[in-house]
Amino acid sequence: MRSAVGEREREMWFRSQLSVPPRMLPGESADGSPTARTIRDVLVLDPKDVPGADAKIGPLVCPLDVMSRSAAALVGFLATAHPALRDAAITASPDAVRARAASVLSEQPSGAVHAVSTTWTVPLPWFAMFESEHRRLSLAPVASPDRECSWRATMADAQARVSRAYELAASTFGERGPAKVLEDTAGWLEHFDGSSAVELDYGGLVQLLDDEQLQADSTCEDVNAIVDALESGDAEVVAERFEQLREFWGELAIRERFN
């Protein structure tokens, strides 16, 4: 079940570090290949739970790609971490890490990982993929794995929405910033079957936000309002919605700096 994914991935990481010798990546066997259990790690979604999806297409299966995602994260860590932290956290040389990561990523069957993760915040252009009214909100207790805030869309709908948002953002702000994120998102979506679906899930962020904050969260609505305002040329609405986004996500950004 989806609520157990985080626990499962933490378990895989601890196992990789307690192995003798320690593995560079979670889910990695002694010879560097994925363990049998890692290959079977998937999320399964009923298409009836995706707005607008054809219920007849059968279950939607999302491989967790733990090794590939970890490899990409390691490369990012090498590029951004302070040298002292990097040396304390990774015993292998940076060149060895990059070579191993490149090898793992080159073996990814679809050419892209099926799940993309960020920490502390969510890239705001991602919300352009979804209708704000399709939010799934479960205000279970903070410590409960059933606490959830997510959106789902068919692949066709997500691609159409991203394409529109990109054209408007690029013509208004240029090719960098939001437009670049949207361009990369569109490229990522192209790797997957047109009958599939895409989901944005807050994951562990729901443990950092209380019920009132989650209920008041209008991020998806704000992002889509900005896209509409760009199309109509309403600069006042764009500025107003950007300010609302800054206020909501500013607190999480402060927490990230303190950590």
What integer pLDDT is reported at residue 226 of this predicted model? Answer: 98
Dist. CA 177–CA 7, nearest whole Å: 34
What integer pLDDT is reported at residue 58 of this predicted model? Answer: 87
What integer pLDDT is reported at residue 248 of this predicted model? Answer: 93
Tell me the domain boundaries of the chain. 2-106, 124-258
Four-residue CA torsion sign, 81, 82, 87, 89: negative
Pair 129, 162: CB distance under 8 Å: yes
SS3 143: coil
Dist. CA 217–CA 203, nearest whole Å: 15
Q: How distant, in Å, are the alpha carbons of 34, 132, 203, 247 from that of 49?
A: 31, 16, 18, 31
What integer pLDDT is reported at residue 5 of this predicted model? Answer: 66
Tens-digit pLDDT profile for residues 138-167: 999 998 888 999 999 999 999 999 999 999
Pair 126, 185: CB distance under 8 Å: yes
| Angle of CA points 151, 153, 154, to nearest 5° | 160
Tens-digit pLDDT profile for residues 77-117: 888 888 888 888 888 888 988 998 888 888 877 778 888 88
Task: Name the helix (H) or strand (E) containing 45.
Answer: strand 42-45
Spans of the chain, pLDDT less than 50: none
What is the DSSP code string of 72-140?
A: HHHHHHHHHS-HHHHHHH--S-HHHHHHHHHHHHHT-TTSS-S----SSS--GGGGGGS-GGG-EEE--
Dist. CA 25–CA 18, nearest whole Å: 12
